[in-house]
Structures are given as structure tokens and as C-alpha cells.
Amino acid sequence: MIFLLMIDTPEDKRKFVILYEKYRYLMQKVAMDVLQDYISAEDAVQNAFVNLAMHMDNIGDPESLRTKRYLITIVKNAAVDMYRNKNVRIQRETYIDELKEEDMPVSYMETDIENEVLDILKNLPIKYRDVFLLKYSAHLENSEIARLCGIQEGTVRQRIARGKILIEEALEGLEEDTCEENKRNG
């Protein structure tokens, strides 16, 4: 496995092999749920394992529920990124085809908004984004997040609260931009 070249210590290499053997099929299923395509799901799992190899210091016991949730979060994020990139390509193709405005499906507009919301989440400062993903994507408790990140539980609550404020501000800005664009077009 080429991933092992990215890992320094023999202990981490052994841990990585255990994680790969134990969780690759679960991770494949999670990616399939998002992407609905076997080959893309395999790519997402490989991307997740590359990410994991670079962050082996975040992994404790390979058998723990926390580790399982962490791996699910990594692969889900990799799959969502791939899904998002795929939708960007589809949108470009739609523009090339030059559809008439009345032929444009409503779901296309919704996808555009979803991508902007995903951009907001992706552009959050990493300390807020990580806590947010662990809380709302992996459904971890604040105490579990604190242990996983090596911070106090109060810090977790504070980062979630501040992250929510940043998201609300970004959404308000997005709403204002949409209103201004509608005024110009309408």
C-alpha cells in the first residue's frame, strides 16, 4: 500500500493497516450513499485514506467508536467534495448547452444554493469547521469532540456558537447578494 510511505512510525503504519482492513467497506458504503456511483465512491475512499495517512496523530484506538466516527466523517467529506465538484462540471455543461431560461430545472437552482452553503461551511476557519463537522456530521457529543480535538468542552461549545454566528453572517450576505441580483435582473 502506497499510503504507508506517507506514515512515519511503525506503530502508525500498523494502526493504518488495521483501520484499512477493518473500515474500508464501511467507508465505501458511506461514499456510495453520497455519490451513488461505485467508481466515484472508491475514489472518495482513497482520498479519505490519503487524508487519514496525513493525520494519523488524530487516531487513538482503532477499535473505538470515536475512531469509526472520525473515519466516517473523513470519507463523507471526501464524497461531498467529489459530489460538489461533479455538480460544478454539470453546471458548466448546462451553460454550454445554452438552455432557455424556462427549460432550466428548479433543482439546478437549488443545487447552486446548496453549493454556496457548502462553500460557507468549507470556508469557515478550520477550528470552527472541524468542531462543526464532528458535531453535526458525525453526531459526536461535545465531550467526545473535546477529547478527540484535545480541547476543553467549554471551548467546543464556544466554537460551535461562534461558528453559528459566522454561518449566519455569511448566509445573510448570501441572501443580500441574491436580493440585489434579483433586483438587477427583475
Contacts of 64 (CB under 8 A, 6+ apart): none
> Rounded to 5, what percent of the chain is helix, strand, coil?
85, 0, 15
Class of 7-104 per CATH?
mainly alpha
Q: How confident is the model at residue 43 (pLDDT cuts 50, 70, 90)?
A: very high
CATH number belonging to the domain at 106-186, selected among 1.10.357.10, 1.10.101.10, 1.10.10.10, 3.50.50.60: 1.10.10.10
Cβ atoms within 10 Å, residue 99: 12
Q: How confident is the model at residue 108 (pLDDT cuts 50, 70, 90)?
A: very low
Cell of 159: 466554537
Q: How far apart are CA 144 and CA 32, in angstroms?
A: 27
Q: How far apart are CA 8 and CA 56, in angstroms?
A: 10
Instruction: Supply the DSSP symbol for 151.
Output: S
Give the model confidence (pLDDT) of 28-37 as tens digits: 999 998 888 8
Q: In the predicted model, is pLDDT for residue 157 greater than 50?
A: yes
Cell of 45: 475512499
- Residue ranges, comma separated, of all CATH 1.10.10.10 domains in the chain are 106-186
Q: How far apart are CA 127 and CA 143, in angstroms?
A: 16
For residue 178, give the amino acid letter.
T
For residue 144, give the amino acid letter.
E
